[in-house]
Every structure is written in structure tokens, then in C-alpha cells.
Chains A and B, each alone.
Chain A
């Protein structure tokens, strides 16, 4: 599989502070590559370096196998970095028409098609200044799609979009990836959103990429557990320990029990708790989401801030 974007020990320093340090990632053709990190973790800096909005302090950047003449390679990239801005006195359609001419795209029909693709066909004639934040994001995506890019770079594209819009956006991105084979680099602090979309992940914190892994690897690393809700958690714990011999469990502040073993003994566990009149309210097999995994990875006191 071709590597479309590769960074090798990429660094960006503002004054004496590193916004990004030794970032090395590989984005393969067809990937949906999710960058997960808190605000200020360095996601946007990485995106800005890839899209040429800022210069690197050190390290290598390779686009489509090339390390030279990156501006030319960037014509194969469509990007939304931060909240997209356009001319406020122009309609969405006029804004796209302006960029169509600028990019030398001959076919005028691309404007209408791009607007339709992102669900803005009816709002194309509305002035940009009257757009909601969600509509601005959609117009930004329409612009990014207009040049039929090989790679989409999307910096928090669901910011300001309502829940229904987020689902629509996710479906649109999946469709673009599967039908048009567009490789996608997407960042978000809405971690659950990325876990439903990305095929590869990079977890970033304080400018450092902590881990790069595939969706499969993440699934393996996420811890599965049985969640037990009872009326008497203390008694339930005693039964689990004494009668069933389990040792790997946690009880949270709300009295919910997380049991990290015994997945093949669900029937026996429930039967024993019912027999002992513990008052079993619920029992469910679950596994940690991307958020949980991420929080565990960055760990410590910051866990509390995030949750």
C-alpha cells in the first residue's frame, strides 16, 4: 500500500516551547487516520505542517513519496484547518466559484456537485455571513472536495455540528473513503466520533505522539469487562471474591462493579448473585472505548480533568 503522508521526527517549536516534538506517522492510501488529543495537544500543528501553513523546525515531511516541491503535492490535498473562513459578502456558491477559478478547475459543474455532496445544495445562494457554524464546516468540506483530492485533511470537522449532522458527516466521510478511495486524516477531541470512523489512530499529548496503532490493535488493547449493577455492591463483591474466586475487579463511586474476567461464566455469575439475593439490577459485557484507552494512556491527574 502506498504511503501518502509520512512524517519523520517532525518538530515545531514556538520560542522555547515545542508544539510538536519528533512526530513520526505514516498514512497509507485508503486509511482513515484519526489523531486523538486534547485541545492544545499538537493536532492542529501537525495538520498545519502537513498543509504548509507553518514551517517545521526540524524533521522530514513526505507527501505522496516526495520530499521536494511539496506545494505541488499539496494540490492533491483538500483541507479544513480550524473553522473555515470565506468571503462573508459572497454566497456559498460564489465562494466556491471564486476558488474554482483560482485553482483552474475547468468544469463549472464541480461547484454544484460539491454543494450537493455536503448537503448544502439549498443553501448555496445564502450569504456566507448568515451561515451557522455547522454550515461553514460543510462549505469548508465542499471546498476541500472540489479539486477531487487524494487526501482529505480535516481538523476537527465536526466542531459546531449538531448530533444528526455529525452522523451525516461520518457517513459522508465513510462513503468518500470507500467509494472514491479518498484517504482521510482527521483530528478530533470528540474521541467516540473517531472510534466509529478511523482505521488507524495516533494518540497525541503535549506535542508528543504517544502511540500509533490500527483500529484492530486498539480493539485488542481496549479492556473488555463485565459491568454489574446491584443493590448491594459490597455483598456482590464478597460473593465474586469468595464464592466465584475472581480477583480482577473495580468498584466505582456509584457502586458499579467492573469485572475484568469470567466472560465465559456470565450465566453462573448472574445465577449466584440471584441465589444470594443481592438484587442484580443489570449485567452487561463492555469494553473500554477510545476515550478510556486514551485517558489511561495519558494517565495521572489529567484523567480527572478530562472526565
Chain B
């Protein structure tokens, strides 16, 4: 597994599209800081910038990270042929891809959050009596939450990539299932009790909880385990049955 992760790390660090995506995310952070600075009559502090602005962007960005990075991680059929014919098991490839996806998204979120703190500290004044280290700690806690939220989102993204061989189709289904169907199921859950239970499994439910700073451990665990079971199950069944 370690060798697999080493090779994936080698590949990702040399992928130009990944660096372009990183630059895009940096630009979003800088634009966000700039718009916060320009807009609003009340003076914006570092604390407000991090908590109300970037936290929301990073939390919602987690969904995009899952979609984008799962596409980066997923390999074409011919590469799978090379790996399996050299004695690598499909199980190792699938779980190696999941660990690789988690590592990439978590490192990416962590680096961007570090940059956000730096930008916040440089651009905005501290609030009266505010302590920057406490603000940063609070912000990093939120990022920790983002990393946890990535567990089910990444499981869904990877599972779909293995279920649907076409990357574009997999991403489309990912957004349709993860985002678009969420408010629909939410509205219908008022009439059907089954949908209320289903709603608990939606990674979006827990992302909303994080945004409201009201994440509940029990519900979150159910969501993580449920999503891992469903998407790993579907993904591995599809992969193990696929003729290469």
C-alpha cells in the first residue's frame, strides 16, 4: 500500500492540472479577502473573515475537492490492465485510491486553510481584545470538520468513479446525488418518513451541521459508516466484476 501511495504521490505532484486547480483556489481566497475588504460598512476583522467567509467557502469547497480530486485519482482502463497484470490486487488498487484521495483532499484543505489564516492576518485588523491564535485554532477546528466531512464525500466520489467508467458522467451523477437531490429529498421527507431516515445518510446534512457549528457525533458516525458501506460496496462490486 505504501508503494502504491508513493507512486500516486509522484504522479499527482507532476500533474499540471492539479497545480492549476491549486492556483484557482488561491485566487478564490485572495478575491474573497479583497471583496470583504471593499464591501461592508462595518470594519471586517480577521476573525470575521475566517469564520464567516472562508469557513463557508472551504466547507462547500470540500464537495468540489471530492469531485475534482476523484477525477485526478481515477485511472484509465489501460493503467488498471498494467497494474493488475503485474500482480496487484483490485482490492489494493481500490483502497489505495481511496487513501490517496483522502490524503490529497486533506492536504489540500490544510494548505489552503493555512494560507487563509495568513491572508486574514495580513489583510484585516484583529478585533478588539481578539487573540489571533485562538481565532486560528477555531478555524483549524472547522477545517478538521471539513476533513471528516470529506470521508463520506470522497467515498461517494470514488465509488461513483468505479461504478461509472466515464469521468464526466461520474462527476455529473456525484453532483446530482450529493447536491441536487438533497433539497428534493428534504422537501419530500415531510410526507414520507423513510426519506427522513435517508436524509440522515446524506453527507450534505452533516456539512450543514458543520456550517451551523452543530455537528452531532452519533449522526455523523452513522453517515460516515453508511456512506463508506454503500459506496465501497457498489464501487468494489462493479470493479471486481469488470472485465479488463
Contacts and interface: CB of A to CB of B under 8 A. Distances in A.
Interface of A: 14, 48, 51-54, 71-79, 81-87, 89-90, 94, 97-99, 101-104, 143, 147, 153
Given A84-B78, A86-B78, A99-B7, A78 B87 contact: no
A97 B86 contact: no
Chain B interface size band reads 20 to 34
B212 interface: no
Interface in B117-144: none
Given A71-B88, A75-B87, A101-B6, A87 B77 contact: no
A102 B6 contact: yes
Nearest to A75: B87
B89 A89 contact: no
Given A77-B87, A85-B81, A89-B15, 6 more contacts: A75-B87, A76-B87, A86-B78, A97-B10, A99-B86, A103-B3
Contacts, number: 77
A83 B16 CA distance: 26
B216 interface: no
A102 B83 contact: yes
A74 B78 contact: no
B119 to A, nearest CB: 31
* 10 tightest A-B CB contacts, nearest first: A85-B78, A74-B87, A102-B7, A75-B87, A51-B85, A101-B7, A79-B85, A104-B3, A53-B244, A101-B6
A244 to B, nearest CB: 57
B116 to A, nearest CB: 30
A87 B85 contact: no
Contacts of A54: 243-244
B16 A51 contact: no
Interface of B: 3-4, 6-7, 10-11, 14-16, 76-79, 81-89, 243-244
Given A71-B89, A78-B86, A101 B3 contact: yes
A74 B10 contact: no
B86 A74 contact: yes
User: What does DSSP make chain A's interface, helix, strand, loop or mixed?
Assistant: mixed
A168 to B, nearest CB: 23
Contact of B86 (A14, A75, A82, A86): A75
A172 to B, nearest CB: 20
A14 B85 CA distance: 20
A294 B243 CA distance: 30
A278 B77 CA distance: 63
Which among B78, B82, B85, B243 has the greatest number of chain A C-beta atoms within 10 A? B85
A90 B7 CA distance: 13
Contact of A77 (B4, B77, B86, B89): B86
A85 B6 contact: no
A242 to B, nearest CB: 62
A77 B15 contact: no
A296 to B, nearest CB: 33
Contacts of B85: 51-53, 74, 77, 79, 81, 153
Contacts of A14: 243
A99 B81 contact: no
Nearest to A153: B85
A103 B81 contact: no
Contacts of A74: 85-87
A85 B79 contact: yes
Given A54-B244, A73-B87, A85-B76, A99 B11 contact: no
A116 B205 CA distance: 56
A98 B10 contact: yes
Contacts of A86: 78-79, 82
Nearest to B91: A71
B88 to A, nearest CB: 7
Contacts of B86: 74-75, 77-79, 99, 103, 147
A147 to B, nearest CB: 7
5 contacts: A74-B87, A77-B86, A81-B81, A85-B78, A101-B7
